[in-house]
Amino acid sequence: MSPDRTFIIVGGGLAGAKAAETLREEGFDGRLLLFGEEQVRPYERPPMSKTYLRGESPFDDAAVHEADYYTTHQIELHTSTVVASIDPEASEVQLAAGARLTYERLLLATGASPRRPNVPGTELEGFHLLRTVADSDAIRAAISSGGPLVVIGAGWIGCEVAASARELGADVTVLDLASVPLERVLGPEVGAVYRDLHVSHGVTMRLGLSIDAIEAIRGSGRVEEVRLTDGSVIPAGAVVAGIGAMPRTELAAAAGLHIDNGVRTDAHLATSAPGIYAAGDVASAWHPTYGAPIRLEHWSAALNQGPAAARNMLGLATPYEKVPYFYSDQYDLGMEYRGWAPSFDQVVFRGEVSGGEFLSFWLHDDVVVAAMNANIWDQTDAIEALLAARRPVDVAALADPDTDLGELAVSGRSPGQSS
């Protein structure tokens, strides 16, 4: 190893672990330290609301690497370790325990923290947020103990927890101020599909309402009910809140890095401080295709930005250009979403929405800006071609299952249409 080179990764999640892996694969032979605050080795978070939460898969299935990987590859993995501060001028980090370490390159992969509802009662036993494996363990135990579960928030985490809880036999009520689940990302049309899906599986949806308080009415110190602002009361043996997350920018902000909805980076994931990079949930990365900074709290960003940042740390100029992607599995509805649609003026469906096998497209000025395949797995290449083309398409042809999507990507029209 090269003793005069030290790279440090702050954040023991998927982005940090994949960055460490890539640094070794690309030939970095210096000292490599990976700091994580959790007690366990790096793991992927999607199973925490799905298969791991339901007890269908063990922790080792979620782990990014085998237990001996870090020792074998001479990666100094420090779990249960907090990095207290960064000094960009001195190229140093200080650990909460007091040690100071000098780095040549530093990667911030500190992730995000779940938002806590601003209502009374979140300190009660039986109230849960979901981010870590310990959180998932606690929620599974709460579901197993019986009693109704109230889920605050009908976003991805809330919907996936609700689906998992129903599959485990819990009585579930989902609360959200929006009119349909996932409305902010998917819009009302596709959100209605998820509303109907959950209702068909026995979930009670209380939408368009806000929460007044989470209460322990018998002075037990435990969650017993949720009171809404309309005066109604919902019994609760446990409450899980899934109302979004905030990027963990505290270290970066204290070090004087540029913060704007995350740690701002250029297309190479470099921050405003020399030698410091960011990846994953915390990174607000300039996307050259869209001409805007994008921050994604999804598995794919951590999976792909970690390696891209690692290559840039080594001087292998690698702009991050991947199309945003995420997936979700709820009951028997699996989906993949590609693209970026901060605004859209039309949603087009293709296929059998009621049968759970369909495509949906988000358009702006007749250009497909995002697409979702639900239980249809053979259209990925055509969808990606449509997104890459960034050309207006014939909307009727887009909705017609008999029209080849690949042809639409090339010409914007189905075969036989006149120009």
Quick: pLDDT tens for 248-274. Answer: 999 999 999 999 999 999 999 999 999
Residue-averaged pLDDT of the chain: 95
pLDDT at 305 over 80: yes
Confidence of residue 69 (pLDDT cuts 50, 70, 90): very high
Across residues 67-82, what is the average pLDDT? 98
Segment 166-197, tens digit of pLDDT:
999 999 999 999 999 999 999 999 999 999 99
The answer to whether the beta carbons of residues 7 and 106 sit under 8 Å apart is yes
Q: For 228-255, how does the pLDDT look when each residue is reduced to its tens digit (9 = 90+)?
A: 999 999 999 999 999 999 999 999 999 9
Please name which of 344, 343, 334, 324 lies closest in space to residue 395, comparing C-alpha atoms.
Answer: 344
Domain ranges of the chain: 2-113+246-313, 116-241, 332-411
Task: List 336's β-bridge partners, or say none.
Answer: 327, 373
Domain 2-113+246-313 indexed as CATH 1.20.1640.10:
no
pLDDT higher than 90, residue 411: no
Q: How many CB atoms lie within 10 A of CB 264?
A: 21
pLDDT band at 419, cuts 50/70/90?
very low
pLDDT band at 417 (very low <50, low <70, confident <90, very high): low
> Into which CATH architecture does domain 116-241 fall?
3-Layer(bba) Sandwich (3.50)
User: By C-alpha distance, which of 250, 256, 313 is closest to 88?
Assistant: 256
State the CATH class of domain 332-411. alpha beta
Beta-carbon contacts of 342 under 8 Å, excluding residues fewer than 6 positions away, are 292
Q: Which residues, other chains included, contact 124 with Cβ-Cβ below 8 Å and sequence gap of 6+? A: 214, 215, 216, 221, 222, 223
- Same topology, domains 116-241 and 332-411? Answer is no
